[in-house]
Chain A
Amino acid sequence: MMLSRVADSIYWMSRYIERAENIARFINVNLSLMLDQQMEGQNQWEALVHITGEYKQFTEKYGEANMENVIEFLTFDKEYPNSIFSCFRAARENARTVREAISSEMWEYLNRLYLRLREQSNQPRDFLEEEGNQFFTDIRLSGNLFDGITDNTMTHNEGWHFCRLGRLLERADKTSRLLDVKYFMLLPSLSDIGTPYDELQWSALLRSASAYEMYRKRHGRITPANVVKFLMLDHEFPRAMLYCIGRSEESLHDITGTPRGSYSNVAEQRLGSLRSDLAFTGAEDIIRRGLHEFIDDFQIKLNAVDTAIYTTFFEMRTPGAGEF
């Protein structure tokens, strides 16, 4: 039992941190692709805006989708609500309203993270030239650290389950978008499929999901079908979509006490049905039906789950605590 308002804030706190971490992952994958290959770099940055942000908002403000502009938009833009900066700010604001419900270690870490980023956001961007990769790697790491602090300092009670629920749903969404990046990059170069160049892209993608070594252990050779299988359908890899959906379902049932395999509210019904969608689909089916279409459909269903969580647990509360 906890306050609806508090549950909502905890859920969004962890969603925002996961979101920031994943934006850093997207940027990391592009940065490393730029180093690894001689491809014309422009359209991969444009793809990133398509995947993660509002394209219209971007072009109106920045015009050309080059590296500097896209990084500025996705990292430091204070007006764009899903930039890394805005995510940390929102996560911290949410945490600030529930400080009594989370551990002080969580709050202090998040507060320091935000203050540091705010300081960096006011400095010239020169440091990105030399240390860009490290900067985004650090942000990825801070998301992981926060998860670790959460798991080790907060009682695994209802609040913790809302925290985990927010984190895993956000991660499922972002892993699916990461795969979508690949889809966009492939658009102008279908002839590259199966070439070493293609493998380079898939490797970068796996690395950005911290999945490269784990993939190798599981599947060995890199093939598109296996990468899809691993990042979407793996039961054990913690960034795989099915893993995230399965574990968030666990948390949802721990919150309500409803036995698994049944449901007592719309949120459980939708999440359960989304899990079986994934669990009973093969990678080949997905590719045959079209990766992008499948991901699109998945994201729509995921949004419906989020809406159902809102109406089931949080409603009657403040506007603006967080919408995507």
Chain B
Amino acid sequence: MFRPDGTPREGSKLLYQRLSSLSDGELIRYQQSAERALLNLGITFQVYSDTEGTEKIFPFDIIPRIIPADEWHTIETGLRQRITALNLFLSDIYSDAKIVADGVIPADLIQSAATYRPLCKGLKPPGGIWCHVTGTDLVRDRDGQMYVLEDNLRCPSGVSYVLENRRVMKNTFPAVFANSHVRSVSNYPGKLLDTLQHLAPRHISNPEVVVLTPGIFNSAYFEHSFLAQQMGVELVEGRDLVVHDGHVHMRTTRGLQKIDVIYRRIDDDFIDPLAFRPDSVLGVPGLIDVYRAGRVALANAPGTGIADDKVIYAFVPKMIKYYLGEDAILPNVPTYLCWIDADRQHVLANLDKLVVKAANESGGYGMLVGPHASEKERAAFAEKIKAAPRNYIAQPTLGLSRVPVIVGDSIEGRHVDLRPYILYGKDIFVLPGGLTRVALKKGSLVVNSSQGGGSKDTWVLSAGNGNGTHHGNGGGLPP
């Protein structure tokens, strides 16, 4: 929001003036009324480990994060490039695996990934598209450069908060909003429905699309319900569905009803007990058979998690080069792969400076933030790394950019990341906005909602309104 010299950046001036004109009490009141609005709207998530009232509002900060048009242009172009390459990779890896044959990625790295699904070999999803919905995590380092932290090719969540946060923000700062030329995010549900309908295996004008949720106790249940409602489609649970006569049906008050497209928010492991985990009660027995036969579409396709493996992730820039002949527009965070001897030696020698992550975990679980860990914790992690080097990667501790956040009755800087959303159907759509997640604990680098993170509205400014120029260290606080 500010330049290094402490003056507001282009595009942030109006907001800065409005915030400056408020007394402290007023700002807090705005914040409280926004929180009250979210509670009344029931915009909540579940915390698994929390027994007392499992439903919480996702902490929300009313000071928006502003992204100028030129910066967004780079992000959007980079994301398009990346998702194109990732889809080519998935098609390749589950058919001829040319990228392995050509020696770009070692075969055993693919085979040893927990999210690799041999069952998907030979699958040909409609249009060769595997990832219809992606929510890529981006972070900005102290040098102002945006890096890709994770691709989230399976069931990325959070887009509902983007839409609902925006709704609350319009009520909180209507005048600033109206004059800031913020790009709209409200057409996301419509675009998502288009993307899903495009997948329908039967050539009919009005395919039956459903959203498949694990149920009300899932942390993202609100979002599943919200998206189904906004698209006007049924929200189903596994027990609502049944495979019958080679098709997937839902159980209705008038008997069985055929389904064409499933936007599933259940991981591969749980989606079909006959194909994957036999103990899953969330899924639909026989679903994968119907899918293989091309009689139902799944978004996202099964098997996409292979590219979420943090070791495979490290190869994405090479994939972009291999499939597209281009350099990556958005770089990866530099990543040390512990299965490579030299990298492992470096990681073990520098644990106090690095962030170590398990290759197959997400949501901030299974990681070690070296600089914040105790000697004992680091030693324990070193043993884990030595025992299973394939399962660990390490990255430098980034100087994540900070943005102003209301804390108690003052404003302080907190670390943030950004998760934009990409839809890939007939064409690629990048939602101009995204979920800005905030690490609410002072100094913390972990922004996940399951770990005490909050969110902010993200304002992507439209070009041609003096919003294009971007200076300095990108969004940081004044020093």
Contacts and interface: CB of A to CB of B under 8 A. Distances in A.
B39 A115 contact: yes
Interface string A94-138: 001101110010011001100100000000000000000000000
B95 interface: no
B289 interface: no
Contacts of B41: 108, 111
Contacts, number: 63
Contact of A108 (B40, B228, B237, B250): B40
Nearest to B255: A1
Interface residues of B, number: 23
B217 to A, nearest CB: 11
Interface residues of A, number: 26
Given A97-B216, A99-B225, A100-B228, A115 B251 contact: no
Question: Which of B42, B237, B250, B253 counts the most A-chain CB atoms under 10 A from its CB?
Answer: B253
Contacts of A318: 239
A212 B149 CA distance: 68
Contacts of A3: 234, 236, 240, 250-253
A316 B239 CA distance: 9
Contact of B42 (A107, A313, A314): A107
Contacts of B239: 5, 316-318
Interface in B336-357: none
A315 B459 CA distance: 47
Contacts of B234: 2-3, 6, 100
A222 interface: no
Contacts of A111: 40-42
B251 to A, nearest CB: 5
A296 B237 CA distance: 39
A316 B251 contact: yes
Nearest to B41: A108
B216 A4 contact: no
A186 interface: no
A158 interface: yes
A278 interface: no
A interface: dominant SS? helix
Given A1-B253, A104-B229, A313-B253, A96 B40 contact: no
Given A2-B252, A5-B239, A96 B257 contact: no
Contacts of A99: 42, 225-226, 229
B423 interface: no
A205 B306 CA distance: 68
A5 B241 CA distance: 11
A141 to B, nearest CB: 19
B442 interface: no
Nearest to B39: A115
B394 interface: no
A20 interface: no
23 contacts: A1-B252, A1-B253, A3-B250, A4-B240, A4-B252, A4-B253, A5-B239, A5-B251, A96-B216, A96-B225, A99-B42, A99-B225, A99-B226, A100-B226, A100-B229, A100-B233, A101-B229, A158-B253, A255-B253, A313-B253, A314-B253, A316-B239, A318-B239
Interface of A: 1-7, 93, 96-97, 99-101, 104, 107-108, 111-112, 115, 158, 255, 313-314, 316-318
Among all A-B residue pairs, the 9 with the closest Cβ atoms = A100-B229, A100-B228, A99-B225, A111-B42, A313-B253, A100-B235, A1-B254, A1-B252, A112-B40
